[in-house]
Amino acid sequence: MKILALGGSGGMGRYAVKYLHNIKQINKIYVADLNFLSAKKFASHFDSRVESLKLDIRNFQSLKIEMSKVDIVVNTTGPFFLFVESILRAAIQTNTHYFDICDDWEPTEAMLKMNNEAKKANITAIIGLGASPGLTNILARIAISELDEVKKVYTGWDMSAAKPESESSQSEISAAMVHGIEQMIGEVKVFKNGNFEMVKPLKKIKFDYPDIGKRKAYIFGHPEALTFPYYFKDIKESYNLMHGGENSFIGILKIIRFLIKIKIITKNFGAKILTWLEKLNNSEKKKDKNAVLPGIYGYAQGLKEKRVTSIGVTIDGDINSFSMGEATSLPLATGVKMFIDGKINQFGVHTPESPIIDPKLFFNYFKKEAGDNFVINTVITRKS
């Protein structure tokens, strides 16, 4: 089994390669990066199963040539709104199975429309299999499974919880921060009142999380808001939510957005500020862990035995100490391992909450790398 790891020496990709290297059925991993020196240096830390490769993903023909040499392409190159659609199209044209961590909602919509093409090409494509989207989708799907009828689905994450990566092949602005800026400006798509709507990001949403109580979070542009209605037709409301930091932190984000809108600062400069804010926010310890929402969760509300029921599902244990790269890349590698073992075996383009991924089996695989302290925590609140 051969793997092409696009962006394999980047902040996310290097962790994906480390986890993939533990899969014995994989006999070759090509660490492909535009920054060849970084790819070569990173690949030198492994045995001969890992090789470096200089590749510009913007060159479609070169991309197809390299894809045709492997069985699976693993894509961690961002920002995804710039590159991911053409990369998936190259995978379809070369009949190469495909996995990514895409966290932009616009290309996610476009890639889901390639489902029939992927089926005809006899390939499996799992998109958005990171932390959020990824773990959040699967946690929310567990929550949905507890209900007889689902009306609302929220996925959420703590912006201050993830530790930024200190190593990457990226010499300029982090693609993750560029993504963050893009999803805070303009409008983003959500599912509300049974319809897709465009709304302004960072809008405050209040809801009652089981065993925690009423809390607030903020709309963030992410694929989860769009993909759950794709699979669960009874849903009336679907949001991806961000929390973390005090009101002043959210206020600063809105100021950055405003300054970009009136062209006082550029998006790239805004991304630099966001990088600094993330490091600052991450250095501050939470005073009361029980007073805030979980670091990552899936939430569903609906009916159970004709009673209004809310379900919250989160992860407890070592996952909370993971860096952003680890938390994002381990789900990706888990999906690849399940595919190689034949546990994911249907063609087409799928997101993590798709029926082709068994949540219980996924987390059994995931736990082998995440650690013995890893626990899925499900809490339920019912009202008459």
Quickly state the pLDDT bin for 323 (edges 50, 70, 90).
confident
Of 244, 253, 232, 239, the closest CA to residue 207 belongs to 239
Class of domain 2-130+325-372: alpha beta
Domain boundaries, the chain: 2-130+325-372, 135-319
The contacts of residue 37 (CB under 8 Å, 6+ apart) are: none
Q: Are the beta carbons of 314 and 336 closer than 8 angstroms? A: no
Pairing of strands 28-33, 72-75: unpaired
Q: 57-69: per-residue pLDDT in tens?
A: 999 999 999 999 9
Q: Are the beta carbons of 131 and 328 closer than 8 angstroms? A: yes
Q: Which residues face 303 on adjacent strands?
A: 149, 308
How far is residue 178's CA from residue 260's CA, in Å, rounded to a whole number?
A: 13
Which H or E run contains 157? strand 149-158
Quickly state the pLDDT bin for 286 (edges 50, 70, 90).
very low
Ranges 72-86, 179-193, 199-213, 352-366: which has the least confidence: 179-193
Instruction: Check residue 258 and give its pLDDT.
Output: 72
The contacts of residue 125 (CB under 8 Å, 6+ apart) are: 88, 91, 92, 97, 98, 99, 111, 114, 118, 348, 349, 350
How far is residue 14's CA from residue 50's CA, in Å, rounded to a whole number?
A: 12
Pairing of strands 50-54, 28-33: parallel
Of 205, 202, 201, the closest CA to residue 237 belongs to 205
Quickly state the pLDDT bin for 289 (edges 50, 70, 90).
very low
Of 34, 37, 25, the closest CA to residue 1 belongs to 25
The contacts of residue 211 (CB under 8 Å, 6+ apart) are: 312, 379, 381
User: Which tokens in the block code for residue 26?
Assistant: 């994989």
If one looks up domain 135-319 in CATH, what number appears?
Answer: 3.30.360
Of 134, 106, 357, 346, the closest CA to residue 226 belongs to 106
Quickly state the pLDDT bin for 370 (edges 50, 70, 90).
confident
How far is residue 15's CA from residue 19's CA, in Å, rounded to a whole number?
A: 6
Ranges 146-155, 196-205, 215-224, 365-374: which has the least confidence: 365-374
* Residue 25 vs residue 180, higher pLDDT: 25
How far is residue 160's CA from residue 252's CA, in Å, rounded to a whole number?
A: 14
- Whether 290 has a pLDDT exceeding 80, the answer reads no
Q: 179-189: per-residue pLDDT in tens?
A: 677 777 778 99
| Angle of helix 324-340 versus helix 359-370 axis, rounded to 10 | 120
Tokens 């092949």 sit at which residue? 169
Instruction: Check residue 167 and give its pLDDT.
Output: 52
| Coil/strand/helix, residue 175 | helix
Pairing of strands 28-33, 2-6: parallel
- Whether 161 has a pLDDT exceeding 80, the answer reads no
Pairing of strands 204-209, 213-219: antiparallel
Pairing of strands 237-243, 149-158: parallel
Q: What is the mean pLDDT of residues 45-50?
A: 96
Q: Are the beta carbons of 54 and 36 closer than 8 angstroms? A: yes
The contacts of residue 142 (CB under 8 Å, 6+ apart) are: 298, 313, 359, 376, 378
| Coil/strand/helix, residue 1 | coil
What are the CB-based long-range contacts (under 8 Å, 24+) for 291-294? 292/158, 292/215, 292/243, 293/156, 293/158, 293/209, 293/212, 293/215, 293/217, 293/243, 294/156, 294/158, 294/209, 294/377
- Whether 288 has a pLDDT exceeding 50, the answer reads no
